[in-house]
Amino acid sequence: QLQLQKSGPGLVKPSETLSLTCTVSGASISSSTYYWGWIRQPPGKGLEWIGTIYYSGSTYYNPSLKSRVTISVDTSNNQFSLNLSSVTAADTAVYYCARRGSGGRVFDYWGQGTLVTVSS
């Protein structure tokens, strides 16, 4: 059964870098069928797509965050990571990692969200 397990701090100081890692179990991140993505949701608000990565390292980023976002993949450890630099309070959100399945280019499995708060 597919599981997406996130790790990373729940509190980040303003101007610092938010770093999260999603470890995949029950599937190979190197499968040619799937892509892997990050989505966030500010408290009480809607969903925002951050970016998507393929096992080869090809990335697609939201232009609204592109200058601050890096998504990377580590196939040897079956995990992918998010780095968001120069954070502000506006980056406070629940962050989700998810798998983009083979049907419809959409996220069919989501990990449990992690609230990341940006505060000094």
Partner 1 sequence: DIQMTQSPSSVSASVGDRVTITCRASQGISSWLAWYQQKPGKAPKLLIYAASSLQSGVPSRFSGSGSGTDFTLTISSLQPEDFATYYCQQANSFPRTFGQGTRVEIK
Q: Catalogue the E-assigned strands of the chain.
A: 3-7, 11-12, 18-25, 35-41, 48-53, 59-61, 69-74, 79-84, 93-100, 107-110, 114-118
Interface residue with partner 1, options 46, 67, 119, 120 (CB under 8 A):
46
In Å, how far from its chain's centre is CA 19? Answer: 9
Q: Smallest distance from the beta carbon of 22 to partner 1, in angstroms?
A: 12
Interface residue with partner 1, options 79, 111, 116, 118 (CB under 8 A):
111
Interface residue with partner 1, options 96, 116, 118, 119 (CB under 8 A):
96
Give the binding site for partner 1 (CB under 8 A).
46-49, 52, 60-64, 96, 98, 101, 103-108, 110-113
